[in-house]
Structure 1
Amino acid sequence: MDLETLIKQSTATLLISNLTSASTAISTAALCELRLLSKSDPSIRPFIATVDSGATLSHLSSALLSTSSLSQENAAATLLNTSISVKHPLVSTAGLLDAISHSLSSHRAADYSPAAVQSAAATVYSLSLDPSLCPTLGSDRSETSSAP
Structure 2
Amino acid sequence: MHIKTIHIAEHDTQIAKTPKTIGEFINTWSVDGFIAEGCQPSELGWGTHELKLPIGAHFHESGCKSSIYLTQPGASVRIKTWTPAAGPCLGFLITHNESISLSDYLTVHDENGVSYRPTVNYAYHPCNDAILSLHELIGNSWQPQQRKRVISGNDILEGADYLAFS
**Structure (1/2) with the larger strand percentage:** 2
Same fold, TM-score > 0.5, yes or no: no
Larger radius of gyration: 2
Q: Higher relative contact order at CA 8 Å, sep ≥6: structure 1 or structure 2?
A: 2
Q: TM-score, normalised by structure 1?
A: 0.25
